[in-house]
Amino acid sequence: MKEHRGQPWTELAGPRATAHAVRLLKAGALVAFPTETVYGLGADARNVDAVHAIFAAKGRPADHPVIVHLADACDIDAWCGAVPPLARKLAATFWPGPLTLILPRAEGVHDALTGGQSSIGLRVPAHPAAQALLHAFGSGIAAPSANRFGRISPTTAGHVAEDLGDAVALIIDGGPCKVGIESTIIAFDDEAPVLLRPGGISVDALTAILGCAPKAPDARAPRVSGTLASHYAPRTPARLIDATTLRAAVETSRVERMGVLSRSVVRPPNFSGAWVDAPGDAIAYAQMLYAHLRALDRADAKLILIEAPPEDASWLAVRDRLERATHSGGADPVDDID
């Protein structure tokens, strides 16, 4: 499959775009649509060939499960078997919203959705365009992020077009995503909640509803989206470093083409590379993170340096994304760029 394709058809979110998308989905085509987290690449979750087309468009490994998006929490029983009481409690509290539940799959749910596992990932998104589409479609829509596998997730319609081209039949343009990073993923191990991926719902918020903090995953945890060691990654090598190291690197480096994503470090007057000042607030930082990484990836830099976020709990999801985005970044920056 070619990396660069023609431009897909894009329509602003609204009744006309929703009706067009429903027709395409029912015909087995792929439709990209906005959620509050990132844009999803959607297919009819009951159409095996259409789900396989998602994997082909993204270059996604066949054993990597996808999340099924539902219109309402009451649809959950059509897709999974026994639902733990705590899972229903989370659904009642956080759906619609940026929470994915990993639950036992129901009979008839095909392996293309689950990666051959016994569990299925389900979510009810909050974005009004996603809600309109799901209600009009009347069934589940399988929808991983609408980008090439392992790369930076899309938070605008333009990002989708840039990554997938005419591999997608239609993009519904609902504007920039408000959360900006993927959903929190919770699974259940003997009915005890397990945090598989931090995201748009904080651990503190989960704990307040569950009565205890979710457990960390162990070797028995199911495979889920976005948890590979290297993920959400720019094509440009990127490294995550503390503020002191970043300050020294940008003041002493002789590399002409460097990109920087800073949170607190001030740009030196003589710095000639690409520089992005990110918000100091965790929620605002997350909302802009992927757009900032994409901008730096387009800057023709040899290296992107990213200031590490704080260690406190409010930055957990951001830190998770940055650690995966920089996993293959290479050696210590001070040693090899001065």
Angle between helices 85-94 and 203-210 (to 10 degrees): 130
Give me the domains of the chain, ranges plus CATH numbers: 9-210 (3.90.870.10), 238-336 (3.40.50)
Looking at residue 6, its pLDDT comes to 63
CA 94 to chain CA centroid, Å, is 18
Looking at residue 270, its pLDDT comes to 87
CA dihedral sign, ordered 251, 230, 294, 300: positive
Pairing between β-strand 170-173 and β-strand 274-277 as defined by DSSP bridges: unpaired
Rounded CA-CA distance 198/321 in Å is 9
The predicted-structure confidence for 278-327, as pLDDT tens digits, reads as follows: 999 999 999 999 999 999 999 989 999 999 999 999 999 999 999 999 98
Looking at residue 59, its pLDDT comes to 93
Looking at residue 333, its pLDDT comes to 47
Tokens encoding 125: 């998104």
Mean pLDDT (whole number) for 55-72: 95
- Among the ranges given (99-103, 143-147, 254-258), the one the predictor scored with the smallest mean pLDDT: 254-258
Identify the band that residue 56 occupies on the pLDDT scale cut at 50, 70 and 90: very high
The predicted-structure confidence for 102-131, as pLDDT tens digits, reads as follows: 999 999 999 999 999 999 999 999 999 999
Identify the band that residue 5 occupies on the pLDDT scale cut at 50, 70 and 90: low
Identify the band that residue 191 occupies on the pLDDT scale cut at 50, 70 and 90: confident
Looking at residue 225, its pLDDT comes to 81
Mean pLDDT (whole number) for 22-37: 98
Looking at residue 12, its pLDDT comes to 97
Looking at residue 254, its pLDDT comes to 61
Rounded CA-CA distance 91/272 in Å is 49
Identify the band that residue 258 occupies on the pLDDT scale cut at 50, 70 and 90: very high
Mean pLDDT of the chain: 92
Rounded CA-CA distance 151/136 in Å is 30
Tokens encoding 4: 């660069």
Identify the band that residue 255 occupies on the pLDDT scale cut at 50, 70 and 90: low
- Among the ranges given (192-201, 204-213, 226-235), the one the predictor scored with the smallest mean pLDDT: 226-235
